[in-house]
Structure 1
Amino acid sequence: MHGHRRAFVKTGSGPAVLLLHGLGADHTTWGPIVDQLARRYTVIAPDLLGHGQSAKPRADYTLGGYANGMRDLLTVLGIDKATLVGHSFGGGVAMQFAYQFPERTERLVLVGSGGLGPEVTPVIRAISTPGFELVMAPLTMPGVRHVAAAAMRALKRTGIKEFRDFDEVATIYESFREYDARSAIAHVTRAVVDWRGQIVTMADRAYLTEAMPLCVIWGEDDRVIPASHASLAAELAPGARVELIANAGHFPHKDHPERFVRILNDFIRKSPPAAYSRARFRSLLRNGRVPAGATEQPVEIATVTPIR
């Protein structure tokens, strides 16, 4: 599309579910759940531009640019509407997509998502600093890279919860061996993070979720973006369904794939897809809430006790 290679997986049949991975990852992060979801849904799991097997050009790596790219991908695939599931940075892309294209968004699922508060691990803040691409060059040379990645995976196998996500971190680290990949990730990060933390927030537009079924899923032991952001989501969008998964880190869909799929299936089953109305959207934008006496009723959103 637009002269750039876009890699993706498309499998299954039924209502469309678009899976958006996080910073530095690719579609393989969804590996543990894709086959299960494909039993009920048409699953699309792309490599975002600058990631995985997709092209890594000098391009627009803003959230708006990514949202446009996902709209174009769905259009090419002949899919009009989808439930969006965004993890970490992909959650920011999912929120931006729902904001720009509410008529094409049926539901929104945020998994350990960015955009809900400023706090984020110092490692991601470091990526936004000038010179990251050059500093990483010697650290990703073959010998250094292999030893460091092996050490991270060994720490993962210890079972210590602080190292729970290190296998995924090792995979992301190995992807930095290519300068184009390092450069793309740096551009992506600088669009949403600076040395003080996350820049982009949904706080000023959270009221729009009154017209959109929203589910927030978080691992209680998340060391990348704190689980307290799930509480912030509940405050910003009181109608949202919030799930905290015990004994899970930043990748709850990998730590507990069966539980994750059960939550997602239940949410989709119980929440009717959003029906876009330009008049209602206009009222929300003007008033910041559903106006009193409005003839259109808010979409009912399932609320359950968080898993602990």
Structure 2
Amino acid sequence: MTARAPQFCSMAWAGRPVAIEHQWIEAGPSNGPLLVFLHEGLGSVSMWRDFPSRLCERLGWQGLVYSRPGYGQSTPRPLDEPLPPDFLERQALEVLPALLQALGVDGTRRPLWLLGHSDGGSIALIHAAHHTDSVAGLVVLAPHIMVEDVSVASIAQAREAYQTTDLRERLARHHRDPDSAFWGWNDVWLSPAFRDWSIEAMLPALTCPVLAVQGQDDEYGTLQQVFGIAAAAPHTTVEVFASCGHSPHKDQTERLLDLVTTFTGASSPNHANI
């Protein structure tokens, strides 16, 4: 077993101390590549299941999985504090750097790769565009670079499901405060202030190799999301999975494991500063 039990790291963010749930995967040397996993809008450490461990074992890399504030067992978001429209930018440019610093991770001294799903894919793209000296590569699964009508419609359906089905109970298995996790995500995505959100202008700043994967049947976005990345950052490889929805790591696990293994090997995990 390469995955340690989840731990907690205390750090200051948004004017208060927060505890961040995180898990190390010891599948590679401590001075080798590190793969950081960034979860979806309703994700957490536990919701990744065994995918991070399986991938890191295939790669022979260390892994770091964490739950953002408000998710998993990390400090919940106060219910009277809605997420701001720039919440993804704040996660990418404030929370992730603070966590890496608190854990002693220096991407200029070892290869740092980011793997993000959905909102986590957006966070990975934003972080890499602003930290070109420390990110060696990206794998983004069903990322968002803009808000589309299909995204808003599906998130509105999720609201209905949370209020009328057992979705809250299912999320409670993974989140210390499921209301904090759900309403923070749902309210901001459905807010008029978020409708014009876009990170397209940031994408030309990306300098590392990018693997962008999306399901043909993704209910939360069209393929313009991944092809938009490729149009702005030519060193992007796009892979579209047929018969696949919003979660390629769950819908087609083996294919994705093979693809990421091949991509990272071809891109070379070695870093210029090593």
TM-score under structure 1 length normalisation: 0.67
In 1: Cα distance, 2:251 partner to 2:193 partner: 29
How far 1:252 moved relative to its partner? 0.5
Deviations along 1:182-225, whole A, 9 cap, x unmatched?
3454344555653597533222122112x221110011111122
How far 1:53 moved relative to its partner? 0.9
- Of 171, 179, 182, which residue of structure 2 is paired with 1:182? 179
**1:44-123 alignment to 2 at 5 Å?**
44-58=64-78, 62-67=87-92, 68-81=94-107, 82-119=112-149, 120-123=151-154
8 Å CA contact 1:17, 1:85 repeated in 2 = yes
In 1: Cα distance, 2:69 partner to 2:172 partner: 14
Q: Does 1:236 align with 2:265?
A: no
Q: Structure 2 unaligned runs (5+)?
A: 1-10
Q: Structure 1 unaligned runs (5+)?
A: 150-169, 278-308
Residue 243 of structure 2 aligns to a residue whose secondary structure is coil
Aligned to 2:22: 8
CA RMSD of aligned residues (A): 3.3
- More strand by percentage: 2
- More helix by percentage: 1
**1:122-201 alignment to 2 at 5 Å?**
122-125=153-156, 139=163, 148-149=165-166, 170=167, 174-175=171-172, 181-189=178-186, 194-195=191-192, 198-201=195-198
Change (3 A) 1:220 1:78: same
8 Å CA contact 1:107, 1:274 repeated in 2 = no
In 2: Cα distance, 1:30 partner to 1:179 partner: 16
Change (3 A) 1:172 1:241: farther
8 Å CA contact 1:110, 1:215 repeated in 2 = yes
Query: Which moves more between the two structures, 115-124 or 105-114?
Result: 115-124
In 1: Cα distance, 2:175 partner to 2:242 partner: 36
Q: Does 1:36 align with 2:54?
A: yes
Residue 239 of structure 2 aligns to a residue whose secondary structure is strand
Deviations along 1:58-86, whole A, 9 cap, x unmatched?
47762233122222222232221221111
Query: Which moves more between the two structures, 85-94 or 33-42?
Result: 33-42
Aligned to 1:203: 200
In 1: Cα distance, 2:22 partner to 2:269 partner: 24
Query: Which moves more between the two structures, 196-205 or 44-53?
Result: 196-205
In 1: Cα distance, 2:130 partner to 2:45 partner: 23
TM-score under structure 2 length normalisation: 0.75
Deviations along 1:127-173, whole A, 9 cap, x unmatched?
8xxxx8xx999x3xxxx6xxx23xxxxxxxxxxxxxxxxxxxx4786
Which structure: larger Rg?
A: 1
